[in-house]
Amino acid sequence: MRGKILEYTDTTSIGYIRGEDGSKYRFLAEECTPTSPKPYTGAEAEFSPHGGEAKEVSVLPGSKQRESVPTPKRSKKVFSTVMTLAAIFTIAAVAAVIILSEREHRKVKELQDLYHSQIVEIADLLKNGKCTQAASVYSRAKTTRDAIYETGLYYSFESHAQQAHSLEIAECFVELHQLINATVVLEIDNVNDPEYLRKASIIYAKGGNRLKAKEAASKAQSLDPR
């Protein structure tokens, strides 16, 4: 009887043939005739049916063996996968660095713009004799300065005290006879400007803070003996 091999597995050496009668027959590789080509799925074959078994199976000469498609070695697949993942990770890492860098740059720029706007606001308030409001903005400017410092940019106490008009604010309070407020706004610990320190010493003295007045005068003298 003729039939078609529906399925054949090398590992089990078991196959199935669909005969011309429509029945399905099981066969073993050992049932193939000695001259028969190796069975494979889809091949035409002749066999002798015995119940549900196929005996004396012979693959017909006209059948062509299917060419096996070479399977890439697993190591090559793994290497290719690893390289692809590495490339994706590298691209993602570079993109993340660029995004973070841009965000950090934008943050610093916003802080710098805020700081300079606060300096301008202080100057405008002092022109109108608004000492308390100027002192309030000065306090906020110090917070902004500290935030800029945390980003890695250097803003010294001295440059801040001068740019943010702390001495002018103190002198504004002196004119209003608010001497305590005048001394509070001054910063001398990290200031190295002799002229600033001499004026601060006078204000401290007027405000009754003799210790700070002496400290400011002594520091001014050491920086610029006259």
The answer to whether 187 and 215 have CB atoms below 8 angstroms apart is: no
pTM higher than the cut 0.85: no
Asked whether residue 140 is assigned to any structural domain, the reply reads: yes
Task: Indicate whether 127 and 207 sit together in one domain.
Answer: yes
Q: Which two tokens stand for residue 72?
A: 């890439």
DSSP string, 7-60: EEETTTTEEEEEETTS-EEEEEGGGB-TTSPPP-TT-EEEEEEETTEEEEEEE-
Q: Is residue 13 part of a domain?
A: yes
Please indicate, yes or no, if residue 122 is contained in any of the structural domains.
Answer: yes
Give me the mean pLDDT over the 137-165 stretch: 81
In this prediction, residues 17-32 reach a mean pLDDT of 90
**Does residue 67 surpass a pLDDT of 60?**
no
**Residues 111 and 151: beta-carbon distance below 8 Å:** yes
Domain of 6, CATH number, reads 2.40.50.140
Phi, psi (5° rounding) for residue 138?
-60, -40
pLDDT in tens, 127-138: 999 999 999 999
Element (H, E) at 226: none
Range list of β-strands (E), the chain: 2-9, 14-19, 24-28, 44-50, 53-59
Residue 67 in any domain: the answer is no
Task: Residue 194: give its domain's CATH number.
Answer: 1.25.40.10
30 and 96 in a single domain? The answer is no
Residues 53, 100 within the same domain? no
Pick the last residue of a domain from 10, 34, 59: 59
146 and 103 together in one domain: yes
Same structural domain, 107 and 211 = yes
Of 119, 112, 156, the C-alpha closest to 138 is 119
